[in-house]
Amino acid sequence: MRPNIVSEAGLQTRAGQWWDSIPFLTSAVIIVCSVIYLICLLVGYDSFNEVCFLPEAIVSHFQVYRVYTSIIFHGSLLHVFFNMLALVPLGSELERIMGSIRLLYMIILLATSNAIFHLIIALVVAHNPFHGNEYLMNECAIGFSGILFSMIVIETSLSGVQSRSVFGLFNVPAKWYAFILLVVFQLLMINVSLLGHLCGILSGFAYTYGLFNFLIPGPSFYSTIESSSWLASCVRRPKFILCSGGNPSAYIPTFSSQNSPSGGLFSGNIWRNLSSWMPLRETAAQSTQDDPRYPGRGRTLGSGQNTAVNSDLNLQARLLDDSTPNNPSDSAAVGAGERLSNERWSQANNVVAAGAAGPPLPQIQQGPIASDEQIQKLVSMGFERTQVEVAVAAADGDLNVAVKILMSQQRKAYLSSSIQAA
């Protein structure tokens, strides 16, 4: 008799659930980087000078492939292990927001911009008229950590937090979090590419503040890729996250770039974006639902989700299906949503009053109702206004829940159309 069978089965189950919770692209990157390292380990390949990011080789021999091979090769077991371990929370969070295809495009864009920043700085240091130094031109950088630093900047900006903890030891202002990590890693580890990580931070800030918006395609680009036949097997996987219903500008809706149009580099708002680098916001706890840049009830990335919201999500999705009229006007849809919410609160009050055998209780105030501006934001994401209003009414004014309802409906419609086409 083996007494540890139950514990072993529990460990395997937990490991399987953990892996299943990682979205499609994030898990694919982990598999690719791990398999490449294992193959190099088995065949004894250690000529990383042939695949690393080497500015001298790119400038002299135009070996552009190094821009992308350098991010998927790693030099040691600890190198690939810690990079992939850091990718799991960062990549998963961003992929759930952006979608799998959009995150892939963002990784390619960040890898390219990291390389450009790296080349520019190395060339300036090597050929400046004061004291030229060829060291950076001959520095060989390898690993996914440059992309990770860009993701740290983007995710930190998106979360909206005022401060972040460094390994649980001390808190730092959120906008300086990536720079603090850069200094800590440089002091604690050896053979760390300072310039590679710094360029990752610069790319992350450039992406966050909308400087790359003119390079980012619209939602139709991602929808075309997702609907292609060669990607159908991937789209049908439960871990694959569609870009449908995402941000129309195709970039992360941060506190400084959510309302800026595509092509923000020429929008005239660069000074306003750069001035927000300094952490000048108040540290007092405030309700984020008062800020139109953060719709909802104050939940941020990584925060615990409301269990009641998750349990009622399918019910609200069915309510959206059953409550959507065929050809209603906008005013009729708004009235229907308000009547639906009022009737639900009225029924709850009557039940409580009947159970207490007392006089009817006064009407309970319903949850926060989304403003026209917030509804228009959801409409600009590609959703129909009628469905947006009914979804907002079903979610009691919570835009986060309304977006989940709308995206679940789009995913259901997309899968049904794919099955019919097949």
CA distance 374 to 368: 12
Choose, from 150, 157, 197, 260, the residue flagged as catalytic.
197
Choose, from 145, 193, 256, 262, the residue flagged as catalytic.
145
Q: Is 197 a catalytic residue?
A: yes
Q: Is 145 a catalytic residue?
A: yes
Residue 107: exposure state from Cβ atoms within 10 A (0-12, 13-18, ≥19): buried
Active-site residue numbers?
145, 197
